[in-house]
């Protein structure tokens, strides 16, 4: 039977070395080659135990990550908010359209006004502006010259005034001439009828119904309600009609 006492010194040393080698191998295997989870820090001395980080957990996006990349992150990850941009300065309002420039005096209009004074139109201002009084007087000139009644001061009006003056005229027909022209009266009746003033028959005769319609037309425009075709009433009718009355005078 094999006993330790029967072993030679050499065998004894060989046995001790083999035992130490086996013990070392077991210790190394236990410490470095096992798959069981190990603690990251020792609890000796009161230190806290830190759990291992799960590599499968999604990482939070960096605040410097471009906006387009955040769309590819998982839905449970909140994308970083972009840095606030400085407020843009308010855009100034567009400049409003310039107010319409006032009418400037015209030498032609002033010449017509000066010549009208020779025919008795002393109250018309000599300002070179085509106001209502000037245009109304122009209607009388147009009627005398056999022109369409527009009330617009033009070169032809000044020429007509020179011609009338040369022919010895000192007064223009005005209301009497307007009311004595059947074609003009007919056109006036047609206008009054379209405007709802019911002048009666549109036959070119200036009867009581037509005069009443003229009276109401003038009153609605703050003019003298005389029931007559004055130059001022005729000018308002030209404006309402939107085109000249084609009286042949």
Q: Is residue 45 part of a domain?
A: no
The CB-side HSE value for 205 (13 A sphere, CA atoms) comes to 6
d(CA 66, CA 47): 40
Same-domain pairing of 163 and 212: no
Same-domain pairing of 188 and 233: yes
Closest CA to 172 of 124, 240, 243, 237: 124
Same-domain pairing of 195 and 249: yes
Q: Is residue 155 part of a domain?
A: yes
Say what percent of the chain tops pLDDT 70: 61
Same-domain pairing of 135 and 196: no
The residue that leads in pLDDT, 152 or 49, is 152
Q: Is residue 84 part of a domain?
A: no
pLDDT in tens, 163-218: 999 999 999 988 899 999 999 999 999 999 999 999 999 999 999 999 999 999 99
Same-domain pairing of 180 and 247: yes
- Domain count along the chain: 2
Same-domain pairing of 197 and 240: yes
pLDDT in tens, 14-67: 776 677 767 666 765 666 555 544 444 444 444 444 445 454 555 554 555 455
Q: What pLDDT sits at residue 20?
A: 73
Q: Tell me which DSSP letter residue 149 carries.
A: B
Q: What pLDDT sits at residue 72?
A: 46
Residue corresponding to tokens 């094999």:
2
What are the residues whose beta carbons fall under 8 Å from the beta carbon of 205, sequence distance 6 or more?
182, 185
Q: Which of 172, 204, 222 is the last residue of a domain?
A: 172
What average pLDDT does the chain have? 78
Q: Which of 127, 152, 172 is the last residue of a domain?
A: 172
Same-domain pairing of 194 and 162: no
Q: Tell me which DSSP letter residue 171 carries.
A: S
Same-domain pairing of 184 and 249: yes
Q: Is residue 91 part of a domain?
A: no
205: containing domain: 174-249
């Amino acid at each position: 039977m094999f006993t330790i006492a029967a072993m030679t010194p050499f065998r004894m040393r060989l046995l001790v070395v083999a035992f130490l080698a086996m013990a070392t191998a077991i210790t190394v295997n236990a410490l470095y080659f096992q798959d069981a989870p190990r603690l990251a820090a020792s609890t000796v001395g009161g230190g806290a135990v830190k759990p291992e980080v799960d590599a499968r957990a999604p990482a939070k996006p960096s605040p410097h990550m471009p906006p387009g990349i955040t769309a590819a992150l998982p839905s449970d990850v909140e994308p970083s908010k972009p840095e606030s941009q400085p407020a843009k300065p308010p855009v100034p309002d567009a400049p409003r359209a310039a107010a319409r420039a006032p009418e400037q005096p015209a030498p032609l209009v002033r010449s017509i006004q000066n010549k009208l004074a020779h025919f008795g139109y002393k109250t018309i201002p000599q300002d070179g502006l085509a106001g209502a009084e000037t245009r109304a007087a122009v209607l009388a000139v147009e009627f005398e010259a056999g022109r369409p009644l527009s009330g617009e001061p033009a070169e032809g009006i000044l020429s007509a005034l020179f011609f009338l003056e040369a022919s010895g005229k000192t007064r223009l027909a005005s209301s009497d001439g307007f009311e004595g022209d059947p074609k003009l009266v007919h056109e006036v009746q047609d206008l009054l009828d379209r405007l709802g003033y019911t002048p009666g028959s549109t036959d070119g005769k200036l009867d009581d119904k037509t005069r009443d319609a003229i009276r109401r037309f003038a009153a609605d425009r703050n003019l003298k309600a005389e029931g007559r075709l004055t130059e001022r009433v005729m000018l308002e009718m030209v404006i309402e009609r939107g085109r000249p009355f084609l009286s042949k005078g």
